[in-house]
Structure 1
Amino acid sequence: MTVYPGRFAGRTAIITGGASGLGRETAARIVAEGGQVALWDINAEHLEEAKSAIGATYTVALDVSDHAQVAKAAQSSKAALGKVDILVASAGITGATSPVHEFPVDSWRRVIDINLNGLFYSCREVVPLMLENGYGRIVNVASVAGKEGNPNASAYSASKAAVIGFTKSLGKELATQGVLVNSITPAAFESPILSQMPQSQIDYMRSKIPMGRLGGVEETAALVCWLVSEECSFSTAATFDTSGGRTTY
């Protein structure tokens, strides 16, 4: 990991899904580069371990699919951090691996609740905190599946396509107010979320990547950190890939 000392000096961030994977890696970089972070995650045990390892300022154990919990967490995080400059919405689940005609309805609902509704609640509650100061950077984590669709992963693919559309809408709304909103569409990378998938699905996704390998979480975190930095000043309502050549648009 290449560290850029002071890049986030004086900046504060909320990271959803911050106890593991991309959320944790991004949080670690922001702290290493001078920022403060509040980690949100459903796993309280992993959250405390991450806080200690990273040096996070604050943590909230919550379910992002519950709007009331998210609203409360946004206010408490602002109180702990003093302000909120950055939001990285990376909380997500894969759901069942199944064809549509056999897809469990409960799994469909849960994927949409976490991946789309939870992301909407997070943005809805954090954006006003950014507008107070006329500055903000938001990165919503989508997926290459949201562009291309993965077979037997309809809920995940649909939720991530919706995240891309939502980001474009929000980015245009805020384009003149100092708050930039972008999404990323990584291909599969090594992270705990892979444990939710059968090996056959992982092998399928790897086979679609021209580089012939899964990504590294640090490679995507590097992109996220640029997007949430002050250096990102003329990109909003946009989608950025880290896909090893998989995506074609």
Structure 2
Amino acid sequence: MDLDIRGLRVLVTAGANGIGLAIARAFAAEGARVHVCDVDQEALSGLKDSDPAITSTRCDVSDREQVARLLDEALAALGGLDVLVNNAGVAGPTARVEDVDPHDWDRTLAINITGMFNCVRLAVAPLRESSNPSIVNLSSIAGRFGFPLRSPYSASKWAVVGFTKTLAMELGEHGIRVNAVLPGVVEGDRVRRVIESKAQARGISFREMEAELLGNISMRTMVTQQQIADQIVFLCSPRGRTISGQAISIDGDAQSLA
């Protein structure tokens, strides 16, 4: 299927590693022009060698001065903006709410939801000039289920869905569509760390915790970074021109995270 996105100008936050890198590469593979940011300078340096066509800026999305510089550099590199993918996020602490360090709570929300606000508020003006504008915000299945021992993360990901639906209503008259993507249990090192920390907190083995998580998924499987990237590329193509205000789960039909 020709997605007709050659030359699409795309900004992906936290795009030098993990899901963000898969998203950036998926767009680039379809002929889009891509700029990414990340806090990991080593990953950004590696990206210049592995994917020289993808331009980049070091940026912590919770820092508004850094985000302002990011937008300036992205617009200069891309010559405008058609797509913003708000992918930056952190897992936050694993603990009962009474044991959560307030600093960890604040940091999780500062990146996972306030960071999106910081990027969107500056991206709206250039997106209004696009003929195919869209925003995709990365939430999680923790944004539609409670997630015991992960209250900061779950709260932030529920907030992403509310932010997304409100933006879709505000920006629809400008032709800007806004959607949230809610990945399930994603294969990779990050979910392994999450399972390990939750297993430790619960006093059970890694395998027991993994089996419990997969037992709540109808298809009994994790999802891949590429599957998430493919959905986002489709949403941002002209093929997804009337999809907006949606919270789209990619999770193998997860039933809970308890």
TM-score, normalised relative to structure 1: 0.92
Report the equivalent of 2:142: 145
Residue 6 of structure 1: CA displacement?
6.7
SS of residue paired to 1:138: strand
Report the equivalent of 1:7: 4
Report the equivalent of 2:85: 88
Residue 148 of structure 1: CA displacement?
0.4
**Consecutive unaligned residues in structure 1, runs of 5 or more:** none
Whether the 8 Å contact between 1:5 and 1:34 is mirrored in structure 2 is: no
Whether the 8 Å contact between 2:3 and 2:237 is mirrored in structure 1 is: no
Whether the 8 Å contact between 1:58 and 1:80 is mirrored in structure 2 is: yes
Deviating beyond 6 angstroms after TM superposition, the runs of 4 or more aligned structure 1 residues are none
Max radius of gyration: which structure?
A: 2
Report the equivalent of 2:104: 107
Whether the 8 Å contact between 2:3 and 2:239 is mirrored in structure 1 is: no
One of 223, 230, 245 as aligned partner of 1:222:
230
Structure 1 or 2: larger helix share?
2
**Consecutive unaligned residues in structure 2, runs of 5 or more:** 199-208
Q: How many residues align?
A: 245
CA distance in 2, matches of 1:65, 1:196: 23
| Deviation by residue 1:48-70 (Cα, 9 ceiling, x = unmatched) | 21243234431011110001110
CA distance in 1, matches of 2:216, 2:51: 34
Is structure 2 residue 172 aligned with structure 1 residue 164? no
The code of the aligned residue for 2:34 comes to: V
Is structure 2 residue 18 aligned with structure 1 residue 21? yes
Whether the 8 Å contact between 1:57 and 1:81 is mirrored in structure 2 is: no
| Deviation by residue 1:34-84 (Cα, 9 ceiling, x = unmatched) | 011101100011012124323443101111000111011101110111011
Report the equivalent of 1:242: 250
Is structure 2 residue 58 aligned with structure 1 residue 58? no
RMSD value, Cα:
1.7
- Answer with 204-213 or 93-102: which moved more: 204-213
SS of residue paired to 1:63: coil
CA distance in 2, matches of 1:102, 1:136: 42
Report the equivalent of 1:76: 73
One of 120, 125, 142 as aligned partner of 2:122:
125
CA distance in 1, matches of 2:43, 2:33: 19
Residue 192 of structure 1: CA displacement?
4.2
Identity of aligned residues (%): 32
Inter-CA distance 106–239: structure 2 relative to 1 (3 Å threshold): same
Residue 122 of structure 1: CA displacement?
1.0
Report the equivalent of 1:46: 43
